[in-house]
Amino acid sequence: MAATTAPQDEARAALDASGQLPDDELDIAAIALQFARIDAPEADWRATAAQLSGIARRAVDLAAADQAADRGDPERRRLVLARLLHEECGLLGDSETYDDMANANLIRVLERRRGLPVAMGVLWLHAAEAAGWGAHGVNAPGHFLLALEHAQGQLILDVFDGGTHLQMRDLRRLLKLREGDHAEPRPAALAPMTKRDVLLRLQNNIKLRRLQAQEFEGALACTRDMLRLAPRHAGLWREAGLIEHRLERIGAALQSFDKALEIEPRGEEAARIRALADKLRNRLN
């Protein structure tokens, strides 16, 4: 009898395959589901997959029924997506139990109808892509935002707040809350994110919460899973090495540091990691 494959092994194999794809070929919600399967192996992931398919079908139907949205009106597109995700699906940002790791797990998000800004963003991006509309994540500090693309530029939305359209004064207020009264909107704060970056930001919430709880094994496992999707991410290799160092796995830490330096051999971070790696090698001698 052939051995059965554990759900987590299946999910990790899917992440490995996705890690070899260019960004525009990534299915953002499907990959977020694979991450969720790893963190909640007992959950009914097939029910979540069915819900995601339902959201996509409904997005197509609503987009076709709204002529103004179909012609490219960004405000109509915003309203269509808000109707689908926040009125029909009942999805909301979770401000009451914000730090609950369930808010970054797509299975739990769709069960609870609550989630972090970036988890809401994954679902908005999923629906927008199904409708055939351009959208991307926005690399705002501390609070994920989403942009709906249109002929004159982009509409910046707070999907944690039901898809509210943010004007420049709103962006300035949000940035000041995060960075202090001196902060002003700048290009880097509104830089577009790739799908891969959005997914890594989603998982980073889990990794950071595990580190804060000193669950170093779990944080390392999360980092390793992120590397399946982004195997050429020097920063993640550095982070894996630092956690391995914390766990006193010197050989593994050195392998991770060497990989980071192979990918990104220059810069301040590279110099810092190279110095730490030299110290660790001296310990082994």
Q: What's the confidence (pLDDT) of residue 141?
A: 78
Tell me whether residue 148 is in a domain: yes
Identify which has the larger pLDDT, 235 or 190. 235
Domain identity same for 47 and 182: yes
Are residue 185 and residue 235 in the same domain, yes or no?
A: no
Name the β-bridge partners of 149. 154
Average pLDDT, the chain: 93
How far is C-alpha 200 from the chain's CA centre? 4
Rounded distance, CA 195 to CA 201, Å? 10
Supply 112's token pair. Answer: 């609870």
The share of the chain scoring above pLDDT 70, in percent, equals 93
Q: Are residues 280 and 168 in the same domain?
A: no
* Chain segment 229-253, per-residue pLDDT in tens: 999 999 999 999 999 999 999 999 9
User: Containing domain of residue 242, as a range?
Assistant: 196-284
- Strand duo 114-115 + 92-93: pairing: parallel
Classify residue 153: in a domain, yes or no: yes
Clarify whether residues 175 and 216 are in a common domain.
no
**pLDDT higher than 70, residue 178:** no
133 and 272 part of one domain: no
Residue 1 lies in a domain: no
Do 90 and 211 belong together in one domain?
no
* pLDDT higher than 70, residue 5: no
**Contact between residue 111 and residue 103 where contact means Cβ atoms under 8 Å apart:** no
Helices (H), the chain: 7-18, 28-39, 45-65, 67-71, 74-82, 106-112, 117-131, 168-179, 195-212, 216-229, 234-246, 250-263, 268-284
User: Tens digits of per-residue pLDDT, 61-74?
Assistant: 999 999 999 999 99
Tell me the CATH number at 240: 1.25.40.10
Are 144 and 242 in a shared domain? no
Is residue 52 located within the same domain as residue 111?
yes
Q: What is the CATH number of the domain that holds 29?
A: 3.10.620
Domain boundary among 193, 214, 237: 193
pLDDT tens-digit map of 192-222? 999 999 999 999 999 999 999 999 999 999 9
Hey, what's the torsion of the CAs at 213, 218, 221, 227, to 10 degrees? -20
- Please compute the mean of the pLDDT values over residues 18-45 and round it to a whole number: 97
Got the DSSP string for 147-205? EEEETTEEEEEEGGGTSEEPPHHHHHHHHHHHH-TT----GGGG-EE-HHHHHHHHHHH
pTM: 0.93
183 part of a folded domain: yes
**DSSP summary character for residue 89:** S
Whether 185 and 82 map to the same domain: the answer is yes
Q: Is residue 223 part of a domain?
A: yes
pLDDT tens digits, residue range 113-165? 999 999 999 999 999 999 999 999 998 877 899 999 998 889 999 999 999 99
Tell me which of 193, 212, 234 is where a domain ends: 193
Q: What secondary structure does DSSP assign to 139-156, as a single string?
A: --TTS-EEEEEETTEEEE
**In this structure, is residue 2 part of a structural domain?**
no
Number of folded domains in the chain? 2
Last residue of some domain: 193, 228, 262?
193
Query: In angstroms, rounded to a whole number, what is the distance separating the alpha carbons of residues 220 and 206?
Result: 11
200 and 150 in a single domain? The answer is no
Indicate the pLDDT class of residue 168, thresholds 50, 70 and 90. Answer: confident
| 201 located within any domain | yes
61 within some domain? yes
